[in-house]
Structure 1
Amino acid sequence: MTDTQPKPIFSRLAAALVLAIALAGTVAPAGAADNFYVVRDISVDETASSAAAARTVAVRKGQERAINALFRRLVPLPYHSSLPELDESMITPLVASFQVANERTSAQRYLADLTFEFKRDDVRKLLRNNMLPFSESIADPVLILPVYQEGERAYLWEYPNPWRTVWVDIVDYGLRPQEPDSLRDDWAQPMIQPVLVPAGDLTDIKAINVNQALNLDPVALSAIQEIYGASSVEVVTARARTDADGTLLLDVTRLRPDQETPPAVQTYKGSEDREALMQSVIFDLLARMQEDWKRQNVLDFSVETTLAVTTDISSLADWLAIQEKVQGLSAVSKTEVKDLTVQQAFWYVTFVGNMDQLTAALAQRDLALADQGGYWTLNPK
């Protein structure tokens, strides 16, 4: 069942301890979603009349770059042209705190890496006032199997596989674009659609070979997926070739088991530097994956629903863990306990967006929301 208005009615509880649990669950903390509002590694380098003056300029410019990076991370790409332009007097009240690392100074120069934490509620209000959709959801990781094709051969674990090498450089070793500042700032932040690349050790080699990867062998894909605990597996192939005018080309195909249509080949053009072309292609692919996830999980704040759910309780620790997981979801605005015993909780979960989004977000936290013949249950998987 769903309610349009929550009713804070409490029945008698089994014990004073359980009452304390219920009261603790009536206010939803920001929880894990707070991490979304921390913008890391904004590298600044400013020169002024003194090191102190340069530091003031660096912090001012740094917080402006940080809030813009946060906006770009929250809001889908088609709406970036409508992002609010804020001056210092508007940005500073949004900053909850900031930290400094790798600080270096000279007589007139200041260099540092700045990390800013912004006030979640205030930023959300600003975006909603500007009618901008946004998403705070972080996906479970996707496992990428990079296959390089050359002539009649295909390489996954075999040498040489320059395609896999560049994926490892970016995903595992943090290779990032250095300019412009906006691009560097964006890539300094954690991915909302995390990506894993297998280590290529003996366990991986035994789990899947290149032919099984290209044929999307379900048993082999399941084996490698289980090793890394990924939500899904994607095989990304690349083939380098040269156009008639000497332009270097890279043909890329994304293979997924859930594809309903034949995969399309996308061709990228580049310079004579094959590695540089591969880097730009991978950054493009990763950016598309981030945007795809963001669009799928945009929160619709025009619709707010209160859902009554029943949860089985096995212990105090388990109940508190379930509450924390639910309250940490960005879509959840409030939880309220109506009835609680030592074995079961009946409570309200107020959320924005649709049921599918809520169900998917809960599933990412190993919680199952299910319709049991007219009433809803929320329990660990």
Structure 2
Amino acid sequence: MLVKEKSSNSIILSIVLMLTIFTLSAHANEACEYEAFLIANHHAEAEASTGNLARKQATDEALKSAWRKLINRLVIAGQDITPLMQIEPINVVLYMRVQNETVLTTRYIADLDYCFDRELVRQLFREYNIAYAELVSDRIMLLPIFISGDRTNLWKQPNPWKNTLERILPDHNGLVQLSIPSGLILERRITGQGIIADPKSAIATAASLDNVSMVLLTSARVTIASSGLELAVTGGLYDRDGNQLAELEETSMPVTNSTDLPKYLDQLGQDMIANIEQVWRQVNLVDLNAQNMMRLSVTITSLEEWFQLLTRLENLSPVETVQLRQLSADEAVMDITINGSPEAMDYALEQLGFRIESNPDTSVGGFVLINRN
């Protein structure tokens, strides 16, 4: 029997791969603490002369593209990100987890999770003066209405706008968590015509039924213009009471052929989601080189409750430091240094189930932290 001797290069490559995988997988059983810094189910695939070489090529490229994906998710558009693209992303990865992989003789295929180190990434943002956002939204209900002639469809077909968004959303990689709801109770209580007739009441009812704090209502309308068909998409973001928080700018385009409608809807859907992401990042902007201070008072019932709240506050994306000013049996007063606006802090607190109001006690000033429930 002939035994084929491995070359020294092959042995070295195998050792390097094993060391790299061991290092990145050391924390693989842990959950990624900060959701915004997790790139999940990232595909890696390559073909080479050997399986080990294919794995190295695939994982090297996957790590680089995962880093680009993270930057696109977090960084405010319009900034010079050249320095970020020049770093070695392996230096800011906390761990890599293999979801599934196939290693063939000359091919490697895998889906990988990359958890990036929040503190190291934030250090890079500070060093290169990069403004960014990392607050992941609560689930936002998405209600897509399709209007054509006298038909206003939400759940009923045809609704190519809903179909398009259902296809786009699974591949969405952002901070805004959009979800089209389903369920017989919701479908019976909320209709396209009902939303058009009384949007505030319908949106408040939908939010209550699905237990969400925000609703994105969007419509795609097809009309007949002098040059043929025209497609227009618009919408707005609403709170749980049906009050409008932001309006989406209307986008329209001519449709030369009805068979091209899915293509145009796909383009407008991608543009709409990208715009929502950009607005969300702007509202929740973190600028590590621009600081503001806000005074916050909160009612407490025990020291344990205070320490739990302190930990949660310190982990909020806009928070730089929390300094205790006063602690009594029933109240804590803090000075919080934030890297952003009070509005960004308000959104971050909303995700924890709190809201802030001006403190009626003028001797203390600042804001009062209130449980939104």
TM (norm. structure 2) is 0.77
Do the aligned partners of residues 82 and 270 (structure 1) sit closer, same or farther apart at CA in structure 2, a change above 3 Å counting? farther
Match of 1:117 in 2: 115
Displacement of 1:277 in angstroms is 3.4
Deviation at 1:137, TM superposition (A): 1.7
Which runs of 5 or more structure 2 residues have no equivalent in the other structure? Answer: 1-30, 238-242
Alpha carbons of 1:234 and 1:70: their partners in 2 closer, same or farther (altered >3 Å)? closer
- Which of 187, 204, 227 aligns to 1:205? It is 187
Code of the residue aligned with 1:266 in structure 2: it is: S
Q: CA–CA distance in 2 between the matches of 1:164 and 1:56?
A: 40
Deviation at 1:143, TM superposition (A): 2.3
Q: Distance in 1 between matches of 2:129 and 2:77?
A: 15
Match of 2:275 among 283, 288, 292: 288
TM-superposition CA deviations, 1:5-36 (whole Å, max 9, x none) = xxxxxxxxxxxxxxxxxxxxxxxxxx997221
Structure 1, unaligned runs of 5 or more:
1-30, 177-186
Do the aligned partners of 1:270 and 1:277 also contact (CA within 8 Å) in 2? no
Cα gap change, 1:33 to 1:378, in 2 (>3 Å):
farther
Distance in 1, Cα, partners of 2:221 & 2:370: 47
| Distance (Å, rounded) in 2 between the aligned partners of 1:311 and 1:40 | 36
Q: Which residue of 2 aligns with 1:49?
A: 49
Quote the offset at 1:242 in angstroms: 8.3
2:140 pairs with 139, 142, 156, which one?
142
Q: Secondary structure at the match of 1:223?
A: helix
Shift in CA distance, 314/109, structure 1 to aligned 2, threshold 3 Å: same
What secondary structure sits across from 1:362 in the alignment? helix
Structure 1 residues 272-311: aligned runs within 5 Å: 272-311=259-298
2:353 is the alignment partner of 1:366: yes
- CA-CA distance at 1:330 after TM superposition: 0.8
> What do residues 130-168 of structure 1 show as CA deviations (whole Å, max 9, x unaligned)?
222111122233322211122222212233223223333
Q: CA deviation at 1:338?
A: 4.9
How far did 1:82 drift?
A: 4.4
- AA matched with 1:157: W
Query: What SS does the aligned partner of 1:370 have?
Result: strand
Q: Please state how far the C-alpha of 1:315 moved relative to its aligned partner.
A: 4.1
Q: One-letter code of the match for 1:196? A: S
**Cα distance between partner residues in 2 of 1:313 and 1:130:** 39
1:254 corresponds to 2:240: no
Aligned equivalents of 1:117, 1:261: Cα separation in 2: 34
In structure 2, C-alpha distance between the alignment counterparts of 1:243 and 1:108, rounded to whole Å: 56
Q: Could you tell me which of 328, 335, 338 is aligned with 2:315?
A: 328
Matching residue within 221, 242, 251 for 1:239: 221
Give the ranges of 4+ consecutive aligned residues of structure 1 lying more than 4 Å apart after TM superposition: 80-83, 240-246, 259-263, 268-271
Which whole-Å CA distance do the structure 2 matches of 1:263 and 1:56 have between them?
45
Aligned to 1:192: 175
Task: Please provide the CA RMSD for this pair.
Answer: 3.1
Question: Is 1:67 the equivalent of 2:58?
Answer: no
Shift of 1:224: 0.8
Contact 2:137/2:351 (CA < 8 Å) preserved in 1?
A: yes
Letter in 1 for 2:109: L
How do residues 2-151 of structure 1 correspond to structure 2 at under 5 angstroms?
Answer: 34-79=34-79, 82=82, 84-86=84-86, 90-151=88-149
CA-CA distance at 1:110 after TM superposition: 0.8
Contact 1:71 1:83 survives alignment (8 Å)? no
SS at match of 2:244: coil
Between the two structures, name the one with larger relative contact order (CA 8 Å, sep ≥ 6): 1
Distance of aligned partners of 1:362 and 1:291 in 2 relative to their CA distance in 1, 3 Å threshold: same
SS in 2 for 1:93: helix
User: Does the C-alpha gap of structure 1 residues 364 and 34 become closer, same or farther in structure 2, counting only changes over 3 Å?
Assistant: closer
Secondary structure of 1:311 counterpart: strand
Residue 227 of structure 1 is matched in structure 2 by: 209
1:198-217 deviations in Å (ceiling 9; x for gaps): 31x33223422222212343
Counterpart-to-counterpart distance in 2, 1:378 and 1:280: 42
Question: Match for 1:250: what amino acid?
Answer: L
**In 2, Cα distance between the equivalents of 1:215 and 1:131?**
48
Map of 1:264 onto structure 2: 250
Secondary structure, aligned partner of 1:237: strand
Distance 1:345 1:368 in 2: 16
Scaled by the length of structure 1, the TM-score of the pair is 0.76
CA change 1:65–1:363 in 2 (3 A) is same
Does the CA contact (< 8 Å) of 1:74 and 1:135 recur in 2?
yes
Deviation at 1:350, TM superposition (A): 2.7
Stretch of structure 1 that moved more, 220-229 or 203-212: 203-212
Q: Is the Cα contact below 8 Å between 1:32 and 1:329 reproduced in 2?
A: no
How far 1:71 moved relative to its partner?
Answer: 1.0
* Pair 153,314 (structure 1): closer, same or farther in 2 beyond 3 Å: same
Q: Secondary structure at the match of 1:92?
A: helix
Tell me how far 1:222 sits from its aligned partner. 1.0
- 2:343 is aligned, of 341, 344, 356, to 356
Cα distance per residue 1:266-294 (max 9 Å; x no partner): 22658734334333322221111111111
Match of 2:371 in 1: 380
Matches of 2:291 and 2:247, distance apart in 1: 36
